[in-house]
Each structure stands twice: as structure tokens, then as C-alpha cells.
Amino acid sequence: MDLKHVFVPECFRYGSLRDNFKPLFTLTKIFVRFLELARTIQKRPLKHTEPNFSGVIKSADIIHKIVSKNVDQHELDKISAGQMNQIGIYKNVVSFPMSDSASGYSYYGGLMNPDRFELLQAAILMRNGKPCQKLPIGKDSSSILAPLPEADGLFLFAGILFNNFGHFLVESLGRLWAYNSYKMYDPYIVFYSSWGMPEYWKKGNYMNDVFEGLGIPVDRIVFFSDPVRLKCVLVPEQKYGFGLFTKRDPSFLHFVSAFKSKGYLPERADKHHHVYVSRSGLPIESGRPIGEAVFEEYLKRQGYFIFYPERHTIYEQLRVYKEAKRIIFCDGSSIHSCILLPDVEAEVAIIARRRDPRWTYEEITAQFMGFNKHVIWIDEVIGQYQFGLESWDAVGELDWKQISRHLKDKGYVNEIFAGLSDDEYKDLKKMELLQYIQRITSKPQFLHYLLQRQEQFPQLPLGYGGLPPGGNMFNTLIDEE
């Protein structure tokens, strides 16, 4: 710690007054030196409850702080063998910063084998059996590898930390199951960031809550913005993610089953065992079905507690789902909270709110099937409005009455939804669509959508407005002159 970063009152800085306080400065130096010595003995970098960065950590800023416990290579190998070699141990790996890709792959960058100049296959994000990363196009070995800072610590590769609630739960936890096997070595946990740097270090942030519940120390998470050589990297097998829901891997199940929740039931939730998980409290541009709030009033009369997950911590969400006997989800990211609740006992139904040709409903329901849980998928989407935005941002048009029939057939409700009159529904639809358009007018996708739908320039009929056939006003004025 440099004394120039220690706060000193103004009256102590200049002139004879400071000379009168030399003993105090001496004590300050001794105290600071004591702190430095204690930190050295502890052999851990300074903790940051709030990292001093606005983006990804610069490699040069973190390398000099990388200090890990001494690692016995033989012990690492024994642990890996005990895990059926599902954890690879790699030496002198290059971490190449990740960026979004415009090609058929989702991302450029990742962990690279510098000898073969290719990404480590074991460290590539897989979705439905397909790799999502590749090395940047147009980069050669000399531009990437020369010369690089090196980090001597032990690193556990965790994949991509997605700055999105659903993708975080589905795709950012799939390698962390291996942490407990190596936590005695206090390894650094290497993530890449996607869609911006999340505030995972802040108390109350959903990522912070999840990491705490799973026993993952957030102060050991690191990112690198520049290429860097990592002396020793542990690469666990990806155990969860798209295409892996039904695998029921015992290591991952044991990992998430050990989640320690400290939530309490929100007020009034303890009086209801039937829960409807709503999207009507979200901004309309986040995507939600038309008339959902009206349907909620019907569900209340059927004994349902209307739950708005975005208003509660992940702990509270899991407590509500754990205590429920029946849960109806409106299709959305809130479903993925149940990844941390593999023993959920409630009967579950999911109401589709939009359609997308790029995926099928099995990709959602498979999450529960992987936990030996059957769910009901109800798709009565009759239209959707997205005006150039993605399907998950769409305002969906659903047949709520038909949805209620499905729910009644399965024993979720006792009566069929009466619905609105045609005129009432038309007015409601116009109002919600107008709200939606007002909220997306500044989005570039919406402007692009409008530009693609420019009306054809109308052609004037022959002789229109007294013009001669084939003529125009300019030519007529010239002729008259």
C-alpha cells in the first residue's frame, strides 16, 4: 500500500503544523507496514467488495496480485482421476478475450492451446451439441501470442458469466460443480463476460445470492481483458446447459441440491399453495401477453397467489416454489430458478406467450424432465407483435379462455375464464400495443422494421391535375414560358 493513497487531513499536509505531527506520521507508516506484512503472510490479494473497474479487468492490473497456495501437481492429478478425469488439467494456456461474433458462431475467443493455435475443445461452450466459440478471423499467432504477461496461480475455468438472469442460471453454472474438489487450493475462478459486466459482487444482486448459496467465493472471480498466459488451468466438463437438461449428471445434481437458501416467504404467500408466476409487472417492452392482468384477476378468484419474481430475491423465489403445491408459469426466465430446486414437488404448468421457429417447447420443459418432473405446456398463442424486435420481447396474443380449459382439464382451476367482450378486448389490445410502441420507438430494430415497410411511392395517373400525358409540372411551366 502506498502512503500517497492514505487519506491525510488538510492541516497535516503543509507547513509547520505538519512538523508538529511527525510522531503521528511515524505511527501511520508503522500501521500501514503492518497491514502490508499481514497481507503478505496471508498470501491473498486485496479483496474488493466492489471491484474498481467499470468493465473487464485489465490483465496488467490483476497479474501482480495473483497469489495462490502452493499446488501439488500429484494431488491435482489424483483429484482429477477421482472425478473420472472429468476435470482436465492444462499448462501454459492462453486466455484470449472474448467478443460477440457476427458469424455462425456466437463468440470469438476463449482458452487457447498456444502450441496448436486452437481453442481447447474442453473449454468451448456447447449448445445442443454445437460449439459456440472460435478464434477471431484474421488473427495470426504472432499478433496474439507475443509477448504475454503470465499468471502463476491456480485457475478454475468456469465459462461465460452471462449478464442475463435466465442464461446465467442455464449456462454459467455448468462447470462450477468442480469447485468443491479443489477449494482447499483456493483457486481463482476465471469467467468471460457476455452482454456487459454484471454486478455479481454486490450484495442483493441475484448472481451474488446464487454464488453465496452455492458456496462460490465472489472475491476469487477474475476476468481478463487482454491475452494472458495461465500457468495452470483446471477445466471441468460442462455438465449443464442447452442440450444437457435431461442428462441428470450426478455431480451437477449434487452441486445444485446443496444450495443453501435463507429466504422467507413473502407476505401473504404463506396463505396460498397455488401460485401464478406473472410477467405483468415487467416493462411491457420486456415481452408479455396481452390481457395478462385480467387473467390474473380470474386466477385470484380460483385461489392463486400472483407472484412477481422480479420484486424478490432468488432466495424468496425458491422458497415460494418449494412451498407451493401448484405453480403456473407465464413463459419466461423465472422458470430457470427451479434449476436450483431439483426436488421441487409442486405440479407445474407453463403458458407459452410467444413462438419462435428457432426453438421448441421441449427446450424449456426438458429442464424439469431432467429432474424427473413432468410439466404441462399450454400453447394457445394466436398472434404476436414484435415490430422488428426479438420474439422474447414480443407482445403475445393468447386465447385465455382456451388456456383456462386446459387448466381445468388438468385440475388447476375449477371454472373456465369468462373472458372479455369483443369490444373490451379490442380496446385493451389497442391500449397495450400503443404502450408497447411508445416504449420501443427509440430501439434501432424498430426503426429498421419501419424502414423495411416504406410504402411504395404512388405514381400519378396520366393527365392528373391538368398535366399532359407523360409530362410534369416543371416541363409545363417551361413550355408556357
Residue by residue, DSSP assigns 62-92 as HHTT-------HHHHHHHHHHTTT-EEEEEE
Alpha helices in 410-463 (DSSP H): 422-440, 444-452
DSSP run (H or E) holding 167:
helix 165-171
Rounded mean pLDDT of the chain?
79
> What is the pLDDT, as a whole number, of residue 41?
38
Nearest to 288 by CA among 393, 181, 413: 393
- pLDDT higher at 68 or 93: 93
What cell numbers appear for 273 in the block?
A: 399453495
Scored b (16 or more CB within 10 A) or e, 120-155 reads bebbbbbeeeeebbbbeeeeeeeebbeebeebebbb
Give the separation between CA 246 and CA 388, rounded to whole angstroms. 33
Contact 275, 223 (CB under 8 A): no
Confidence of residue 435 (pLDDT cuts 50, 70, 90): very high
- If pLDDT is split at 50, 70 and 90, which confidence band does 170 have? very high
pLDDT at 67 over 90: no
pLDDT at 401 > cutoff 80: yes
Give the pLDDT confidence score for residue 51 in this predicted structure: 36
Nearest CA to 287 among 194, 166, 413?
166
Mean pLDDT for 265-271 is 66
Mean pLDDT of 289-310: 96
Compute the average pLDDT of residues 28-38.
49
In the numeric block, the cell 415497410 is attached to 453
Q: Which residue has the cell 456466437?
A: 106
Axis crossing angle, helix 314-323 with helix 206-214, rounded to the nearest 10: 70
Confidence at 271, pLDDT banded by 50, 70, 90: low
- Model confidence at 286, pLDDT cuts 50, 70, 90, reads very high
Residue closest to 111 by CA, chosen among 153, 77, 71, 144 = 144
- Sequence-distant (6+) residues with CB within 8 A of 227 are 59, 94, 95, 96, 97, 144, 145, 148
pLDDT at 395: 96
Residue 135 has a pLDDT of: 79
State the pLDDT at residue 386: 95
> pLDDT class for 138, splitting at 50, 70, 90?
low
Separation CA 79–CA 24 (nearest Å): 52
